[in-house]
Every structure is written in C-alpha cells, then in structure tokens.
Amino acid sequence: MTSVGAGNLRIDADRLWASIMETAAIGATEKGGIKRLTLTDLDREVRNWFVARCENAGCSVSIDTLGNISARRPGRDNSLPPIAMGSHLDTQPTGGKFDGVIGVLSGLEVLRSLNDAGVETNAPLEVINWTNEEGSRFAPAMLSSGVFAGAFTPDYAYDREDREGKRFGDELIRIGYKGDEPCGARKLGAFFELHIEQGPILEAEERTIGIVTGVQGMRWYEVTVTGMDCHAGSTPMHLRQDALVATARMIAAVQSVGLAHAPDAVATVGLIEARPNSRNVIPGEVFFSIDLRHPQDTVVAAMEADLRHALDETVAGTRITFTFDRIWDSPAVHFDEACVSSVAAASEALGYSSRRITSGAGHDAAYIARVAPTTMIFVPCEKGISHNELEKAEPGDVAAGANVLLAAVLDTDARLYGPRDR
C-alpha cells in the first residue's frame, strides 16, 4: 500500500497545468504544438526556465557532461541514492505540448507539493531533464539517458551530427549546457517517468492510468540509394538509374514487412532526402530512415532479415546500389516489478481506473532501467495522437498521473528506507 504521507497528499493541479502551458509558449507553433529541437536556442530557453523554477523550489541543480539537468530536493539522509523522476523537454519538429514535458513538470510539481506540505522524505528526491530524448535532430533517440546508462560513450554522442552537419558536442557547448559532472556518475535509488501514452488504448478503454510494465524493442536504420543524376527531359525511360523510383519500391517493402508482422509490429520511413532535389533532374541519390519495432526482440530481428532480403530484391537486375546501416538497437525492456507495484497500488489507493500496458514509444526510462529500479506511468492523450501539433491531454488526467507519481515516489521512499514520521 502507499505510505502514510501519500494518503491525503495531492499535487496542485492548477499550478501544474499552468507550468505546462507556460513552457508550451517556448517554441509554440501556429497549429498549437511546439517545435523545440534538442540543443537549439529554444531548448536553452526552456532549460533556463526549468533550472530557475527548480532553484526557487529550493533544489540544488547540477548539469552533467551530456547536458542532463538534475534538480535535487534534500531528504533526511542525503547520503542515500535519490529517488528520481523525469523525462525530456525537447520536442519533435511538429511536437505537442505534453510529450516529455509532463514527466519533467510533474516531477517539479511533486517537489513543490512536498514543500507546501512540509514533508521530509528519507532520501533526496530528484527531477531530471534528459538531453535529446527525441532523436529527431541528432539520432539516435534517448541519446543522453543512453550515455548515463552506459549504452553509448560520451564521445559517440558528441560526434553525432544533424542533417546540416552540426555536431551534438558543439551545440551542447554553444547553448551553455555542457556540465562538469561525469554523465552516469550519479547513482539513483529508483526512477519514475510520467508520460502520455501516445497511443489509443487508455482512451479507448476509458482508463486514467497506464501501469507501464515495459518498452518494446526498436531498431533504426539509414539507407542511401545510389543511381545517377540525369536530365529529366532527354533521358529515355529505359536508360534511367532513378534512385527515387527504387526508393519508392523500398518504402513499399518496409510497409509490407510491418504488415507481415502486424498487429504488434510497426515499420516506418520518416525521414527522406532526394538529391539533388531539383524538379528536372532524375534523382541520383536518396537518403532515408527506417524504424522497426515489436515487443519481442526475436521478431524485430526477423523483420530486419525480411527487410534486407526485400531491399535486395528491389534492385536486382538494375544498376542501382544501396547501403543499409543499422544505427540503433534498443532491446525490449521489462520494468522493475516493485516499482510497477508501487504505481499499481498508488492508482488503486487514489481510486483511478488503470490497466497494465507496454510502451510502443521509446522513453528515457528504457535506458535508466539498466542502472536503477525504474518504471513509467501513462495517462491518455486524445485519440492517441502524438508527435503531432494536435496532441492533447486533459488537465484531470495529467493531475491524476502526477498524483500517482507523488504517491509512488513516497511509497518507494518508505519501502526502501523506512516509514517517515511525517
């Protein structure tokens, strides 16, 4: 059951919603979303906003060598590993107001509510903003939580380049968020991430809380297709080496692999660049991305094998060539059962409808689970729409998620370090 402190303690729902709307103005788009890509000036602006509010909530703030921000609220015994909450403040190019943001700002709201109630926890608490969760500007996703968990080296991260050739390491320095603390040096007692589901299940089943048990496996690839630039007007059809036509067949093959392993598999081409991208030149080169996902790693591997074969087939007998590089492999993750039980108990104690669920989207928690007991809490978003400016969550659901976060954190503090007297 949840600890004594969580019984009647609640977060301030209006203050939380106001903070979400305030940060939504940083990078706001005309269609009501947010464009706040990693390590841009807008990312620096929202980071500064977050640091200032954590400091005026009495936290000490530290920045590590990957720009991860940790805001620490002291506990009774500050030698204990902190119980952490968090997510990410970077967004997709056509992102919504809630993806990542509610996990960071609900963590801040938990600290503010504990301050208001004068509650002292055994262990310190922390709220963390992870750099480059989205992986949109710098692939792969969850890059800095991955370094924190030992999945990547700092130098690998620093050398990642965006599509304009800018280096992650240079941009991190440029916005002033390359800290001194070695990334990963900070040990966590537990980590909880509140996030919108980004899928349709909770809303369809009219459940308020998703008790997340894990994250599906995912792999990213980069393909470069090579034909030959030629004149669109004077090159007969049978003499062409059209890289974009070949790519179109490849994209159809990606779709077929996803459908062949449906309903649990997904396969996506999201990024494509045709070169020279001129309306009267036959494209001689095309670069595109592939994202494959499934709850079972063995199926992701089978999808990759099927895809490799299908891509070879699309160019058989032609002079088109291609390279196929796997740039990211994030195996399926199962969260810590004690943390999952804390979320389930909190949801029940607070009277929220809930169900267990596996995450289709990747999250920083997927990597943090490698180095600390970790789990997630989901709340619904309208029609499951996300990575879209229309993304929408209800204030009541966000508040419910934050109340579950508060209760689960207090429960874990009591479970790990003993009941508090206040």
Residues 139-158 that bind ligand HGY (CB under 6 A): 141
Question: Cβ of residue 101: shortest distance to ligand HGY, in angstroms?
Answer: 13
Stretch that binds ligand HGY, among 75-83, 129-137, 200-208, 262-270 (CB under 6 A): 129-137
DSSP state of 383: G
224 touches 286 (CB < 8 A):
yes
**Which of 121, 61, 123, 69 is closest to 100 using CA atoms?**
69
Q: Does 184 bind Mn ion (CB under 5 A)?
A: no
Question: Which among Mn ion, ligand HGY, none contacts residue 100 (Cβ within 5 to 8 A by kind)?
Answer: Mn ion
Residues 324-363 that bind ligand HGY (CB under 6 A): 361-362
Q: Does 133 bind ligand HGY (CB under 6 A)?
A: yes
For Mn ion, the closer CB: 100 or 179: 100
Q: Does 307 bind ligand HGY (CB under 6 A)?
A: no
Q: Which of 135, 227, 284, 380 binds ligand HGY (CB under 6 A)?
A: 135
Q: Does 179 bind Mn ion (CB under 5 A)?
A: no
* Four-residue CA torsion sign, 236, 239, 245, 249: positive
Q: Does 411 bind ligand HGY (CB under 6 A)?
A: no
* Three state DSSP letters for 208-268: CEEEEEEECEEEEEEEEEECCCEECCCCCHHHCCCHHHHHHHHHHHHHHHHHHCCCCCEEE
For ligand HGY, the closer CB: 133 or 397: 133
Nearest 5°: CA angle at 226, between 221 and 229? Answer: 140
**Which of 165, 137, 136, 167 is closest to 154 using CA atoms?**
167
Question: Which among ligand HGY, Mn ion, none contacts residue 362 (Cβ within 5 to 8 A by kind)?
Answer: ligand HGY
Q: Does 96 bind ligand HGY (CB under 6 A)?
A: no
Dump the DSSP string for 138-189. Answer: SSSSSHHHHHHTTSS-HHHHHH-B-TT--BHHHHHHHTT---SBPTT-S--S
Nearest 5°: CA angle at 30, between 29 and 31? Answer: 90
Q: Does 291 bind Mn ion (CB under 5 A)?
A: no
Helix, coil or strand: residue 194: strand
Q: Does 360 bind Mn ion (CB under 5 A)?
A: no
Residue 179 neighbours by CB distance under 10 Å: 18
Q: Which of 43, 126, 134, 411 binds ligand HGY (CB under 6 A)?
A: 134
Stretch that binds Mn ion, among 67-75, 96-104, 251-259, 276-284 (CB under 5 A): 96-104
Stretch that binds Mn ion, among 68-76, 91-99, 181-189, 409-417 (CB under 5 A): 91-99
**Which of 202, 209, 189 is closest to 346 using CA atoms?**
209
- Through-space distance between the first and last CA atoms of the chain, rounded to whole angstroms: 17
Question: Cβ of residue 120: shortest distance to ligand HGY, in angstroms?
Answer: 35
Q: Which of 43, 64, 90, 99 binds Mn ion (CB under 5 A)?
A: 99
Q: Which of 27, 100, 258, 373 binds Mn ion (CB under 5 A)?
A: 100
Residues binding Mn ion (CB under 5 A): 99-100
Residues binding ligand HGY (CB under 6 A): 133-135, 141, 361-362
